[in-house]
Structure 1
Amino acid sequence: MEYAKGSRHYEDEINSYATLEDLDDDLLNSYKEKIGAESIETSQVLRARGFLRQQGDKEYLTNAAVLLFAKNIMQFYSNCRVRFLRIDGRELQVGDKFNIIKDKSIDLPILRIIDEAKNYISDQLRVFITQDIKTGKFIETPEYPEFPWLEGIVNAVAHRDYSMTGCFIKISMYDDRLEIESPGCLPDVVTVNNIRETRF
């Protein structure tokens, strides 16, 4: 109920199992560079950003720190995954008509999962070549423009509910559409009926 009300955030809670040694130095150094903190000790940066918290006489990483920077994300969060399905046809079939022709899981920390998903999906998209009648030049047009589907993946990764175990982001490519599903409920006052006008 606290998650639903927005009074408690899973990402801010401590992870009592992960240690600083479980974090990826390359990701941490890249993050420090982006925020202009290259010369500052990593633990101090994590503390200042709320990724390292004191509880009793010990310091613990938060779930957010592990989701962002873990070397092996599956050790801690098996739900930090993007699963891509390529379906042959316009509907998913089962049994002897089973029509999934590609099934790829991308299991990486948040700071790597978007780029990996982008690279993989762009390789799956068809490119249509047409000739411009006026110029005679051939024009390549991707099956789907990159901006909307990449924005969909970014939103799915950024806004999904990581407290929901056993769930993952699913991207399904059919012959006529691309669907992106992200685990979680609509936030606070947003409903299916008011989603076009309501912000939260």
Structure 2
Amino acid sequence: MFHESGQYHPDKEGIAGTSVEDLNERIIDAYFERNFHKPKDAFGLTLDKLYKNIGFVNDKGEVTLAGMLFFGNHPEWKLPQFIVKAVAFVGNELGGTKYRDSRDLEGTLPEVFDMAMNFCENNLHHVQAGQSFNSIGKLEVSRIALEELIQNALVHRLYIIDAPVRLLIFDNRVEIISPGCLPNNMTVEQIELGNSYPRNPLIANFCAKTMVYRGLGSGILRATNEGARIEFINDEVNDKFTAIIYRDERKVSTEEDKVQISTDKVQKTGFKVQISIDKVRNLKNKVQVFVQSTQAITERKRQILETTMILISAKPSMTLQDLAKQMGVSLRSAKEYVDTLQKANLIVREGSKKVGSWHIAEDIN
């Protein structure tokens, strides 16, 4: 009752048994540099006082819920209930026994958000949508709608319920399910008009300063204005809120589907192969694991490395010159991508430069 009336905010509450030792100084330093353009010791305050003023810790020196979720070392250790459960099902039924991908997304909220978007990237289709054949392609559903709805689930969920956010991908839809129905007697019609209620103001504040979140109640408007078919279900009986983005089932792959790699340049050299959807997902997952272990890989380069892995897996005998042609890049760039994958132990070269071949590392007996 206090929470719904706005007199109590769980994101400002301290987590028992925690202290500043549970905070990640690297993340905090980056936060200060990004938002204040100066280090934290330039404020002339003790760390305890500074961290309390910002909301990292409470009066007792305990890390707040918001502080742990954004700046904690392994927040899932202290708050295992606030991860994201992500599953990509085969078919359209929640009770289905087959799935394409299943993961528990753990880490700080910005990390979980990035992992959730990567999960969608890996399990939804990319379409040409007027782009050149050599492009990575455009996500089949609105990326902006996904970003807004996933962030809304993380920011506005009810944190007094010990349950994870669920990200479920079916053949005909994507469901994002948040614990807690709409607060303060709000309705779906009201949020579709841009009305909002700050259920977790400290989390919303940190989110606006660390992610692509903008707040102000405009997220739902941006999502619906993207032309996506979206449905909102405010379930007061089961105390949960569901956002559904509908897919075009005609574009959904079955387990027998194949990905064909073929471009104008490829056809001139007779290079035309097929590689299974499952293999593509496996290769992308390998690159994603590598990217998560380093801070030096941009989103664009991650996509390029995935494409490189797919091409090499499809035709192990291709030379660097072949690879450069297929990707429409310089020989120097192709070598850079291959070198990165080799150093990450994702691919290996067997034989000479002219007659040798590439192989995915774990496929070698």
* TM-score past 0.5 threshold: yes
Q: Which runs of 4+ in 1 moved over 4 A?
A: 192-195
Q: Determine the C-alpha separation between the residues in 2 that align with 1:193 and 1:149.
A: 20
Whether the 8 Å CA contact 1:90–1:174 is kept in 2: the answer is yes
Deviation at 1:155, TM superposition (A): 0.8
Deviation at 1:11, TM superposition (A): 0.9
Whether the 8 Å CA contact 1:83–1:171 is kept in 2: the answer is yes
1:108 equivalent in structure 2: 107
1:45 equivalent in structure 2: 50
Q: Determine the C-alpha separation between the residues in 1 that align with 2:130 and 2:70.
A: 45
Which structure is higher in helix share? 2
Deviation at 1:105, TM superposition (A): 0.8
2:151 maps to 1:151? no
Q: Determine the C-alpha separation between the residues in 2 that align with 1:35 and 1:123.
A: 32
Deviation at 1:39, TM superposition (A): 3.9
Secondary structure, aligned partner of 1:108: coil
Q: Determine the C-alpha separation between the residues in 2 that align with 1:128 and 1:101.
A: 20
With normalisation by structure 2, the TM-score equals 0.47
Q: Write out aligned runs for 1:1-200 (5 A).
A: 1-36=1-36, 37-40=38-41, 42-55=47-60, 59-94=61-96, 98-129=97-128, 138=133, 140-165=137-162, 167-192=163-188, 195-197=191-193, 199-200=196-197
Letter in 1 for 2:184: D
Letter in 2 for 1:4: E
Deviation at 1:12, TM superposition (A): 1.1
Query: Could you say what the CA RMSD is over the residues aligned between the two structures, in angstroms?
Result: 2.3
Letter in 2 for 1:83: K
Whether the 8 Å CA contact 2:56–2:63 is kept in 1: the answer is yes
- Unaligned runs of 5+ residues in structure 2 are 198-365
Number of aligned positions between the proteins:
189
Q: Determine the C-alpha separation between the residues in 1 that align with 2:21 and 2:127.
A: 47
Q: Determine the C-alpha separation between the residues in 1 that align with 2:2 and 2:70.
A: 23
Work out which of the two has the higher radius of gyration on C-alpha atoms and give 1 or 2: 2
Q: Determine the C-alpha separation between the residues in 1 that align with 2:110 and 2:130.
A: 39
Q: Determine the C-alpha separation between the residues in 2 that align with 1:60 and 1:173.
A: 37
Q: Determine the C-alpha separation between the residues in 1 that align with 2:65 and 2:129.
A: 49
Deviation at 1:102, TM superposition (A): 1.6
Deviation at 1:114, TM superposition (A): 1.0
Secondary structure, aligned partner of 1:5: coil
Structure 1 pair 194–141 and aligned structure 2 pair: CA distance change class (3 A): closer
Structure 1 pair 151–47 and aligned structure 2 pair: CA distance change class (3 A): same
CA displacement, residues 132-158 of structure 1 (integer Å, 9 cap, x when unaligned)? 8xxxx5483422121111111111111
Structure with the larger RCO, 1 or 2 (CA within 8 Å, 6+ apart): 1
CA displacement, residues 11-36 of structure 1 (integer Å, 9 cap, x when unaligned)? 11122211111111221111111221
Q: Determine the C-alpha separation between the residues in 1 that align with 2:16 and 2:172.
A: 45
With normalisation by structure 1, the TM-score equals 0.83
Letter in 1 for 2:4: A
Q: Determine the C-alpha separation between the residues in 2 that align with 1:79 and 1:194.
A: 29
Q: Determine the C-alpha separation between the residues in 1 that align with 2:190 and 2:50.
A: 40
